Amino acid sequence: MSKVINITFAGVGGQGILLASDMTANALISAGYDVKQSEIHGMSQRGGSVVSDLRFGRKVYSPLIPKGETNILIAFERLEGLRSIPLLRQGGIAVVNDESILPVGCSATDYPADALERIAAEADEAIIVNATEMATRAGNVRAANMVLMGILSCLLPVKEDIWLSAIRERFNGKISEINEKAFNLGREHQVMAATR
Amino acid sequence: MKKLLSGNEAIARGAWEGGVRVASAYPGTPSTEIMENIATYPEIYSEWAPNEKVAMEVALGGSFGGARALVSMKHVGLNVAADPLFTAAYTGVNGGLVIITADDPGMHSSQNEQDNRHYARAAKVPMLDPSDSAEAREFTMAALDISENFDTPVLLHTTTRISHGKSTVEMAEPLPLRQAGFQPNKSKYVMIPAYGKRRHLAVEKRLNSLAEFAGDTALNRIEWADTSIGVITSGIAYQYVKEVAPHASVLKLGLIWPLPADMIKEFAAGVDRLYVVEELDPFLEEQIKALGVSVIGKEAFPVTGELNPELIGIGLGLGGTETGSVKVDMVNTIDLPMRAPAMCSGCPHRGLFYTLKKLKLVVAGDIGCYTLAVGKPLEAIDTCVCMGASIGGAMGMEKAGIDGVIGVLGDSTFIHSGITGLINMVYNGSHGTVVVLDNRITAMTGRQQNAASGKRISGDEAPALDIPQLCRALGVNDIHVVDPYDLQAMEKAVRAAVDYPGVSVVITKRPCLLIDKKARRQPVRLDNEACRGCGLCLKLGCPAIEKVLGEGCKIGIRINETLCTGCGICTQICPSRAIAAEWEEKRL
């Protein structure tokens, strides 16, 4: 069986998850891979959990990642990260944004305060970042998805210029600059972490 | 050129390349993006119709006029459009006609899980079943050809995973256009009994020709491999089968009605153990068994919900995926708080449901964002069946002797299927009340224009349906138009309407905040000292009212200023007047 790499993007509606998944998919296509992506929208637009499956390789059949086969989990929020941990395969990497968004109607006491610790304990490798803070530094809090994509870019066999041109194609002017900066902050963070 | 497209985008692309010129739809998950994408091709006339029946009739008329035509809808939409479908099967077409039914196994965003493949057999028309985006494009074009070659409407079946899943698509330039033109042919297009009887014969003959075609077309193919295991499959299930059993022989069906009997028998004879893998009903299985072929089907695979690679692996006796190293269920995630969808902060619907609950009314609900009011903490909806059922349902309950029933539905749903129900209430002497939540848009499916929006799918200006005027014309004398942000006025209107000895309509009028961003106001402010901690504001289920730890008021309530739109509903219900709106202070 030819090797297929599985990436799960998980977070809360409105965090730019599907955009990051889309841009990653397009970067992988530019790099010559077969790509399939599956996501559910509809009810998830109203503050629900959002999960996007992305698979790439020489030939991909199922757009759904078999449970427990995710190589890289990109979690945009702590609780959604913890919820998605069982999707990871052995040796899988969890990249988690250190942000918490309280579900509507959920009391703070019900929100797992130890989400990060549990993720770190369960995942074979956990990369915890404050993407929201880094995005704010880049110029817009909403660019946290690009920070996470920057980290992801270091884990994938796609050259840097493909990512950068994907960002420049997707956004215009000032917005493009901010997103590129956010992406680079994520990339630098990962490069530094890898050399430590 | 190669591009990553969703199935819905690929269908739109196929329609454009295939020369479709007339396209109509009513929005419905997971089909909505088909028409949204078709609308980006200026060469195609596209529209949002008031409902799927009208959309089907417009597309059929386009076909009669010689244009290639397309109509798209979600699975339950085809129930509404079934009337024209069954007779369109008799009239046949002039320009190619493709009808897209997007099913929702797993009910990600639907009220039932019906399997619309049965419509192909019942209406005696061919059905294609793509298994990825490339096929979604290709099969849309093939459907147009089959339609013209066999003089029949053609159904194209997708599911949520096909419509919303993305994969690479090789695209091409559009085909040369077909010449439009209507050739009167009364015995073909006027379905009176005398002509209909003759057409029925033609339909049966056509099915035989199509069954022969099914055996020849490249839409159906056998992928011979290890012959100890053979699988007959189609659609998304094909991809899952290839994922978990790459060694198996596969009969992949692209044309799933009528079926290629000889090809199925040949395949069955060539394998030791034969399975049929299909989502939901045993549609293929029953037909295959009727051929006298023995096959393992629903005894190995579930009849409810979506399939996935694991379920298929288990059903085929392979025990999950072949890659192994699974780490499933090491963490207990069952106790984690769920993130259920909720009405947006500032949603104009929220205050109404708070009021209906307070008045202890029985609420016959309907299909739209407002169905979310069934969840905690509002829990203000008692029934939800199908588009428009709130009105008929409220009327029926009233006639059964139930007091205090009120029907609630949105503007788009009212236009889709509510108007006739309201006519019935007036005609048959109801004393009931209907609330139309008029937010000027079809919100749940992602904000599509409708006849009351004042805009078309193109964004062009259009006459906006005057709902109060329409109700008056239907014979409703007690009509209240209120701003749903004004709780007092709304409660007064609902009370008056319920007390009125005749049919009443309350129209809560305010655009969806997502289409009118300028209507957002300064966030409200909570005075932590003034708050008595009653927690009533939490009963609104507003995402901007959070319960946190160690901050906020004495019971830890905090206003999330990023989410708050300043609608002011909470300021009106707070008994200690601890929540204040800036815009309110200015007004005073």
ipTM of this model?
A: 0.93
Domains and CATH numbers, chain A: 4-195 (3.40.920.10)
Question: Residue B339 has what pLDDT?
Answer: 86
Nearest to B316 by CA among B271, B274, B359: B274
The yes-or-no verdict on residue B585 having pLDDT over 80 is: no
Contacts of B333 in chain A (CB under 8 A): 82-83, 85-86
What mean pLDDT do residues B425-435 have? 98
Q: Cβ–Cβ contacts within 10 Å for residue B246, how many?
A: 15
Amino acid identity at B393: G
CA distance B166 to chain A (A): 5
Q: Do A102 and B546 touch (CB under 8 A)?
A: yes
| DSSP conformational letter for B506 | E
Chain B: nearest CA to A24, how far in angstroms? Answer: 11
Query: Given an 8 Å threshold on Cβ–Cβ distance, is B30 in contact with A42?
Result: yes
Cβ distance B310 to A36 less than 8 Å, yes or no, reads: no
CB contact under 8 A, A122 and B341: no
Q: Which chain B residues are Cβ-neighbours of A91 within 8 angstroms?
A: 325
- Closest Cα in chain B, distance from residue A100 (Å): 12
Confidence of residue B518 (pLDDT cuts 50, 70, 90): confident
Question: What's the pLDDT tens digit per position in A150-189?
Answer: 999 999 999 999 999 999 999 999 999 999 999 999 999 9
Closest Cβ–Cβ partner in B165, B325, B337 for A103: B337
Mutating which of A39, A61, A109, A169 best tests the B interface, going by the most B Cβ atoms within 10 A? A61
In angstroms, the separation between the Cα of residue A153 and the nearest Cα of chain B is 19
pLDDT at site A2: 57
**Long-range CB contact pairs, A134-143, < 8 A, 24+:** A134/A182, A134/A185, A134/A186, A134/A189, A135/A182, A135/A185, A137/A185, A138/A178, A138/A179, A138/A181, A138/A182, A138/A185, A139/A177, A139/A178, A139/A181, A139/A182, A140/A175, A140/A178, A140/A182, A142/A16, A143/A178, A143/A179, A143/A181, A143/A182
Q: Is A25 on the interface with B (CB under 8 A)?
A: yes
- Average pLDDT, rounded, for chain A: 91
Nearest chain A Cα to B106, which residue? A40
**Cα of B112 vs its chain's centroid, Å:** 10
pLDDT of residue B327: 42
Q: A90 to chain B: which residues are within 8 Å by CB?
A: 325-327
For the ranges A69-73, A99-103, B97-101, which has the lowest average pLDDT?
A99-103
Q: Where do the domains of chain B lie? A: 2-216, 221-315, 350-517, 520-587
pTM of the complete model beyond 0.90: yes
CB pair distance less than 8 Å for A122 and B331: yes
For residue B329, pLDDT over 80 is answered with: no
Mark yes or no for CB contact A40/B240 under 8 Å: no
Does A69 sit within 8 Å of B326, measured CB to CB? yes
Question: Do residue A42 and residue B161 have CB atoms under 8 angstroms apart?
Answer: no
Mutate to test the interface with B, among A1, A12, A26, A46 (most CBs of B within 10 A): A46
Residues 6+ apart with CB under 8 A from B406: B356, B361, B362, B363, B364, B394, B432, B433, B434, B435, B494, B498
Q: What is the pLDDT of residue B547?
A: 86
Question: CB pairs below 8 Å between A and B: how many?
Answer: 168
Is the distance from CB of B491 to CB of B506 less than 8 angstroms?
no
pLDDT computed for residue A49 by the predictor: 87
List of chain A residues whose C-beta atoms are within 8 Å of the C-beta of residue B242: 61-62
Query: With contacts defined as CB-CB under 8 Å, which chain A residues touch B243?
Result: 61-62, 66
3-state secondary structure of A167: helix
| pLDDT, position B555 | 87
- Contact at CB, B547 and A25, closer than 8 angstroms: no
Judge: A86–B538 Cβ closer than 8 Å, yes or no.
no
CB contact under 8 A, A39 and B164: yes
List the single best residue of A45, A60, A83, A93 to mutate versus B (max B Cβ within 10 A).
Answer: A45
Q: What is the pLDDT of residues B146-187, one digit of tens each?
A: 999 999 999 999 999 999 999 999 999 998 888 889 999 999
B1 or B385, which is more confident: B385
Within the 127-186 window of chain A, which residues sit less than 8 Å (CB to CB) from chain B?
A: none
Residues 6+ apart with CB under 8 A from A3: A57, A58
Q: Which helix (H) or strand (E) covers residue A25, if one does? A: helix A17-30
- In this structure, the number of other CB atoms found within 10 A of the CB of residue B516 comes to 14
Same fold, B221-315 and B520-587: no
Classify domain B350-517 by CATH number: 3.40.50.970
Interface of A with B in 54-113 (CB under 8 A): 60-64, 66-69, 79-80, 82-83, 85-86, 88-92, 102-112
Contact B242, A61 (CB under 8 A): yes
Residue B121 has pLDDT above 50, yes or no: yes
Using one digit for the tens of pLDDT, what is the confidence trace for B559-571?
988 889 999 999 9
**B143 contacts B210 by C-beta, under 8 angstroms:** no
Q: Is the pLDDT of residue B258 over 80?
A: yes
Q: Give the tens place of pLDDT for each residue, A114-161.
A: 999 999 999 999 999 999 999 999 999 899 999 999 999 999 999 999
Write the pLDDT tens digit of every residue in A16-66.
Answer: 999 999 999 999 999 999 999 998 765 555 678 899 999 999 999 999 999
Nearest chain A Cα distance for residue B243, angstroms: 6
Residue in A29, A37, A41, A51 to test binding to B, most B beta-carbons within 10 Å:
A41
Average of pLDDT values for B219-225?
98
If you classify domain B2-216 with CATH, what class do you get?
alpha beta
CATH of domain B221-315: 3.40.50.920
Fold classification of B520-587 is Alpha-Beta Plaits (3.30.70)
Q: In this model, does residue B586 exceed pLDDT 80? A: no
Inspect the interface and report whether the beta carbons of A63 and B109 lie closer than 8 Å.
Answer: no
Confidence of residue A103 (pLDDT cuts 50, 70, 90): confident
Q: Which residues of A touch B30 (CB under 8 A)?
A: 42
pLDDT at B321 over 70: no
Are the beta carbons of B166 and A38 separated by less than 8 Å? yes
**Contact between chains at B341 and A47 (C-beta distance less than 8 A):** yes
Query: Cβ separation of A64 and B325 shorter than 8 Å?
Result: no
* Burial class of residue B200, CB neighbours in 10 A (0-12, 13-18, 19+): middle
Pairwise CA distance, residues A51 & B192, whole Å = 52
